[in-house]
Structure 1
Amino acid sequence: MKQSTVYDCSIIEIDKHHHEKGNLSVLENSKTVPFDVKRTYYLYDVPGGESRGGHAHKELRQLIIAASGSFTVTLDDGKVKRTFLLNRPYQGLLVVPGIWRTLDDFSSGSVCLVLASHCYDVEDYIRDYDDFEKYKK
């Protein structure tokens, strides 16, 4: 998937069920989430001004959700950058392999929920931007 672009990444609407006692959103493998989830993690208590991410994946697909609060995700395919503001818990950003991602501007109390298509594999990460540029060529 070296040839993937930021235009292969998109916002996905997650089912939202409204109730006077609160809202409920449902995520299901291969239905709401366009892959089978093998790993779930979340980022929270990110200090003001800090960035997360700063890497790409060779095979991993992710659905990134602002479960609470807001943050920005900047995607970079080596040629084009796109920035998304995530601030609705019923929307997720689908990130395909071969895209550099950086998360910034975390609001106080924000929670970033990430659903991943693969279990953790250090070999799947590209952590150096120069290596990423070489990978994309």
Structure 2
Amino acid sequence: MAYQVDLKTFTDDRGNLTVIEKVIPFDVKRIFYIYGVDDSIRGGHRHYQTVQAAVCLRGRCAIYNQDGAKEQIFELNSPDQCLILEPKDWHQMFDFSDDAILMVLASEYFDATDYIYEPYLKHDSIRELTAGQ
């Protein structure tokens, strides 16, 4: 199941310095970031091999996750929070603030055959599932 880790942050009168070191459980082979998102839902897949680490560098977003046994919604709203997504974690990113920048570190290079698009559970929409939250 996906889990959150706190990233070490050093703060003084000059500002903040956040370090991603010794908390990511894989060697990083790919980095991408998502921004300028309207009310769309991103993601909608899991992987055969790829482990991912998601950090919302600016603004906020939510990540819905299911691993076949448990469903959970993670709120990312600080650049010192990191969400680790295991290959079995089927996930969708949604509810992006206008200024959101979501950076994702991946354990594998892009490979279209590594993606599994079928969710474990069927829902009409993430919006229905999260209504009232």
Q: 1:88 and 2:82 equivalent?
A: no
Uncovered stretches (5+) of structure 2, i.e. residues with no partner: 122-133
Uncovered stretches (5+) of structure 1, i.e. residues with no partner: 1-5
Q: How does 1:1-137 map to 2 (within 5 A)?
A: 6=1, 9-28=2-21, 31-47=22-38, 49-129=39-119
Aligned structure 1 segments of 4 or more residues deviating by more than 4 angstroms: none
TM-score, normalised relative to structure 2:
0.86
| CA deviation string 1:82-131 (max 9, x = no partner) | 001000100100111111000010011100010111110111001233xx
| CA deviation string 1:45-85 (max 9, x = no partner) | 001x2110111111100111111010000101123210010
Select the structure that is richer in strand.
2
Q: Which amino acid aligns with 2:13?
A: E
| CA deviation string 1:9-30 (max 9, x = no partner) | 21111110102121011113xx
- State the aligned residue count: 121
TM-score, normalised relative to structure 1:
0.83
Select the structure that is richer in helix.
1
- Tell me the distance in 2 between the aligned counterparts of 1:121 and 1:41: 14
